[in-house]
Amino acid sequence: MGAIVASRDAKPRDVAPDNVLRERRNFLDTQQAGELSDRELEETFERIINGNELQDINYLEKGVSAARSVCRIRLETLGGGYATGFLIAPRVLITNNHVFPDAQTARTAEAQFRYERGLDGRELTPVRFRLKPDDLFFTSKKLDFSVVAVEARDVTHATALDTFGSLALIDVTGKVAEGEWLTIVQHPAGQLKQVCVRENQLLRRTDDFIWYSTDTLSGSSGSPVFSNDWLVVALHHSGVPVRRNGEIQTVLGRDFNPNTDKEDDIKWVANEGVRVSRIVQTLRDALPHHELIKPIIAPRPAPSAGGVNLKPQEAAMSRSVTVHLEINDAGEVRLGGSGVEAFGAEASKPKGTRDERGNVIDAPADRTFTGKHLKGYDPKLGNFKVFLPRLDGSIAGNAAPLLENKSQIELKYEHFSVVMNMKRRLAFFSAATLSAAGRFKLTGRTDDWLVDPRIDREHQIDNTYYRRNKLDRGHLTRREDLEYGDKVKEAVRSANGTCVFTNCVPQRDIFNQGKATNIGEDSRLWAGLEDYILEHVNPDDDLSLKVFTGPIFSDSDPKYRGHRIPLEFWKIAAGIAPDGQLFATAYLLSQENLIDVTDLDEAVRELPLGAYMTYQRRVTEIEDATGLRFFFADANGAKERPLSNADPLAGPAGRRPRRRPTRTDEAFESAGGGAIENFDQIVLP
C-alpha cells in the first residue's frame, strides 16, 4: 500500500483512501453486529470520518480497562533502564526488539503493573512479575517486537497475572483510518503510567508501520497505540526524524552530529508504530502451534469492552488512569506529555535524581533483593562496634521471620537493616550507617516504593493504607542519609533503596513534610538532627555515625483502617567524639497532636502550637519505651556494655519502669534532657 500523509487538521473523509474507508465501515459493522441499527451504524461511521470528536461517556471507562494491561518494564542488563509493555494474551507480554533483543535480557527484567497514581493522586503499590523466556520468547528485529512469557503470579504470590487482563491483537483491517485520533498509554522515561489523549493523529501508513503525532518519551518504547475504539492498532517503537538530503535534522535546521548533539536536539516529524496485523501474521507463521501463542493468532472478533479482555479483579485491585498535564511559564495548560520523540516539541527533562550538572542518574534500587551490595547494617564504628538492637523476650515473638530462613529476622539493605513487627506490620527499628565521606551533590528524587518479598506480604503495610487520606509514607532511615558511595550511581542506588514499605511508618502529611507555619523552627529539628551531629563527629572516619530509628508502639495508639498509628518516634545516634570516645544521644518526636482518626480522610485542621516539638531523652528512656536493648563493645567484640553508658545525659536517676515517656516527666527534665528549641540545646560530649 502506498504511503499517504495526512494533514494535522484533516478529516479522515479527506485523507483516507476509499478502500480504507470501506474497510473501516465494514469493521464497525462486524464489531457492532446486532447492537446498532443500520441508521445508528451509519451515524457512527459519519461521525468518525468527519472528525467529530464527541464520544460516548464509556470511552473513559474503556480506557481505564485497557490501561490495566500496560506495565513498566525494568531492565537489569545493558546498564539498566525502563520501557513499556503490555499483555496480549494470558501470560504473554509484548514490547520492542530493541528492549528485549534476546532471551537473557528478558530473563533479568521484570514487569511492573499498577505503577501509577490512584484517583486521590497517591501512588499505588506496583505489582511485580518475573519473566519466563524459557517458556516463550520470540523476537523480530525487522518489525522491532518481542513476545515473552510472564509468571502466572507476582513475586510475592499474592496477585494473579490475569487480574490485569490482556489486549487483543486483531488481525483484520478497518480498525482505524488516516486522520483519526490515536491514544498511547505509556511509561515515558520510566515514570508513572500516563496517557496522551489528544493531538494524536494517524498521519501515514505503510505495509509494516504507521506514523502518528502522539507525544512520547524515551521509555515509551513498547506502548500500545489505541484507536478511538480502544483497539490496539500498533506497537510504538520509535520517533521519525526530519531528514534533508538523507541527513537527520536538528531543531536549529542543521545536520545532526551524533558526536556533539543530543537526542533532544533532533527535530521529529512523527512517531512510528508496528502494525498489529503484521505482528499477528509473523507470529502465526513462526509459532502456529505454541500454546501461549494460539490465543493471539486465533481468529476472533473485537472484545465488547474495547480492546481489552477483562478478567475478574482481585479484592485489593483498583483501576485508574493518569492524565499528564503540562503548565508552561505563561500559565498555559496542555494535555499530554512532550519529549524527545514528540511531534514538533522539545524534550522535557525526565524526573529523577540528578548530579550537580543536572544529568539524571539512573540507579534504581535492587528490586530482586538479591544483590551482593545488600550487606545490611555494619556495626563497626572506628575502634568500637555498635550492635543491632536486641528485642526483649516480651516482644521477640512478634518479629517477622524471613521466608527462606525462619530463624532470621534481619532484613538487610544497602547500608541499613530493618527488623519488622509482624503484629503491627511496621518496623521495630531501622538501623543505618551514615557516612561523612563519599557524598555527592545530588538533586531531585523519584520514590519507587517496594514491598519486600523476603518476608510475608501480610507483615507489611503497603500503598493501599495511604490512599485518600492525610497520611504520608514516612521514612525511618532517610533517603538523604544514604546518599553516599564510592561512585555517584552507588549513592543514588543506596538512597533509592530506602523506599521499601519495611522502612516507612504512617505519618501525618504536614508532620512528615514539615509544612507547618505556626511552630517556628520545630519542624526542622527532627530532620536536621543527623546533619547537625555529623558536623560534630570525626570527619576523617569513613563510618561516621550509627543511627537507629523507630516508632514507639502502644496499645493506646489510635486505630485507623484496621491498624494502629504510632504517635511517637525515637532516634538514637552513636558517633565518635573528637577525643576518640564513643557517645550516644537519644531523641523523641510526637505527632500525637496531629492524629485524629476521625479527620484523616477530611480537610486539614488547624495545627496546635508545638506540634513538632523534638525532645532529647536518655537512651534508657527509649529502651524502656520500646523493649529494645542497645549495646556496644571494643572493635574486637570484647567487653560488651550497654550503649547507655555512652549517653552524655546518663546520670544517677537510673532506669524507670517500662512506659511511654511523657512531656511532663519532671525527673527527666531535671536530669538535663527536654524540649529542644534549637540545635545549641542538644547535649553532646
Burial class (CB in 10 A: 0-12, 13-18, 19+), 40: exposed
Q: Looking at 119, 135, 167, which one is the last position of a domain?
A: 167
Residue 278 has pLDDT above 60, yes or no: yes
pLDDT mean over 159-182? 80
Q: CB of 511 within 8 A of CB of 594?
A: yes
Identify whether 306 is part of a domain.
no
For residue 21, pLDDT over 70 is answered with: no
Range of lowest pLDDT (136-150, 188-202, 500-514): 188-202
Closest CA to 591 of 666, 676, 516, 479: 516
Residues 553 and 643 in one domain: yes
Q: How far apart are CA 138 and CA 297, in angstroms?
A: 14
Are 185 and 123 contained in the same domain?
A: no
DSSP assignment letter at 596: -
End of a domain among 142, 167, 192? 167
Question: Helix, strand, coil % (nearest 5) of the chain?
Answer: 20, 25, 55
pLDDT digits (tens, 9 = 90+) for 387-434: 999 999 999 999 999 999 999 999 999 999 999 999 999 999 999 998
- Is there a single domain that holds both residue 199 and residue 61? yes
What is the amino acid identity at position 610?
G
345 within some domain: no
CATH number of the structural domain spanning residue 393: 3.40.570.10
Residues 572 and 636 in one domain: yes
pLDDT tops 70 at residue 97: yes
Same domain, 75 and 63: no
Cβ atoms of residues 176 and 16 within 8 Å: no
Sign of CA dihedral 292, 297, 298, 301: positive
Q: Is the pLDDT of residue 6 over 50?
A: no
Assess whether pLDDT exceeds 90 at residue 477. yes
Nearest to 85, CA basis, from 97, 597, 313, 77: 97
pLDDT tens sequence across 559-576: 888 889 998 899 999 988
**Cα separation values, 45 from 55, 178, 234, Å:** 13, 14, 21
- 504 within domain boundaries: yes
> Is residue 566 one of the residues assigned to a domain?
yes
pLDDT at 574: 93
Which strand (E) or helix (H) includes residue 105?
helix 103-107
pLDDT of residue 319: 40
> Per the domain annotation, does 509 fall within a domain?
yes
Answer whether residue 482 is part of any domain. Answer: yes
Instruction: Lowest mean pLDDT of 113-122, 423-432, 529-538, 607-616, name the range.
Output: 607-616
Owning domain of residue 508: 380-681
One domain, residues 234 and 85:
no
DSSP 3-state of 30: helix
Section 382-387 average pLDDT: 92
- State the cell numbers at 588: 523523641
Contact 596, 602 (CB under 8 A): no
CA R_g for the chain = 29
328 with 250, same domain: the answer is yes
pLDDT score, position 413: 96
Specify the pLDDT at position 414.
Answer: 95
Domain end marker among 167, 196, 217? 167
H or E element at residue 472: strand 471-475
DSSP string, 319-382: ----B-EEE-TT--EEES---TTSTT-PPPPPPS-B-TT--B------TTS--TT------EET
- Is residue 449 pLDDT above 50, yes or no? yes
pLDDT for 186 equals 87
Residue 340 confidence (pLDDT) above 60: no
Half-sphere exposure of 628 (CA within 13 A, CB side): 29
Interacting residues of 509 by C-beta distance below 8 A, sequence separation 6+: 470, 471, 472, 515, 604
Query: Is residue 388 assigned to a domain?
Result: yes
Q: Contact at 8 Å (CB) between 334 and 468?
A: no
Q: What is the pLDDT of residues 32-58, one digit of tens each?
A: 544 555 655 555 555 554 555 566 778
Tell whether 282 and 426 lie within a shared domain.
no
**Total domain count, the chain:** 3
Rounded Cα gap, residues 160 and 154, in angstroms: 7
Say if strands 224-226 and 232-241 run parallel, antiparallel, or are unpaired. Answer: antiparallel
pLDDT tops 80 at residue 327? no
> How high is the pLDDT of residue 467?
79
Q: What is the CATH number of the domain that holds 186?
A: 2.40.10.10
Beta bridge partners of 477: none
pLDDT for the residue 578: 77
pLDDT above 70 for 475 = yes
- pLDDT reported for residue 341: 32
If pLDDT is split at 50, 70 and 90, which confidence band does 450 have? very high
470 and 527 share one domain: yes
Range 258-286 average pLDDT: 77
DSSP-derived 3-state class of residue 278: helix
Burial class (CB in 10 A: 0-12, 13-18, 19+), 649: buried
Is 357 contained in some domain? no
Identify whether residues 668 and 542 lie together within a single domain. yes
Q: What is the pLDDT of residue 261?
A: 67
| 484 and 553 both lie in a single domain | yes
All residues at 6 or more sequence positions from 365 whose CB lies less than 8 Å from its CB, including other chains: 414, 448, 450, 493, 496, 497, 499, 500
Q: Are residues 31 and 87 in the same domain?
A: no
